[in-house]
Amino acid sequence: MADIEIRTFTSDDADAVLSVILPIQREEFGIDITADAQPDLRVIPDFYQSGKGQFWVAVKDGAIVGTVGLKDIGNNQAALRKMFVSAEVRGREHGVAALLLDRLIAHARDAGITDIFLGTTDKFVAAHRFYEKNGFSEIAKSALPRSFPLMAVDSKFYRYKVG
């Protein structure tokens, strides 16, 4: 397994986070989305690192290669957002996604969060398998809490019971 560090986001990471997320969205998955259409990425400390939320980056050889955010949505519930891993470090042999998810779930447990929800696009088939393998259950859109931050591209939804 590659030497990967998972650490909390700092404001110095802002440009590198965009340089990981945008190419995956646009080039790999053909989603016509810009940084401006994702204002949360311009205000990560305010949007994610408040309440019981947090935002982490995965770092390999000094470069950010992965991201994940936990958005506090109230009522001891949270939304998993912006989980992206650069293509060159994807897969079980690198374990970047698993390390990011482990850190997020440990934080959620310590913070007293009871449920983690996420929305994704039906295009992210490998992500669906990853979430399901890691204890997330698919739910109907109607089962989401009212405070869940829906994205226009979201078409598939999951819930993880923290316990």
- pLDDT of the chain along its 163 residues, tens only? 459 999 999 999 999 999 999 999 999 988 888 999 999 999 999 999 999 999 999 999 999 999 999 999 999 999 999 999 999 999 989 999 999 999 999 999 999 999 999 999 888 888 999 999 999 999 999 999 999 999 888 999 999 999 8
pTM of the predicted model, to two decimals?
0.95
The secondary structure of the chain, three-state, reads CCCCEEEECCHHHHHHHHHHHHHHHHHHCCCCCCCCCCHHHHCHHHHCCCCCCEEEEEEECCEEEEEEEEEEEECCEEEEEEEEECHHHCCCCCCHHHHHHHHHHHHHHHHCCCEEEEEECCCCHHHHHHHHHCCCEEECHHHCCCCCCCCCCCCEEEEEECC
Give residue 102's domain range: 5-161
Count how many domains the chain has: 1
Q: What is the CATH number of the domain that holds 53?
A: 3.40.630.30
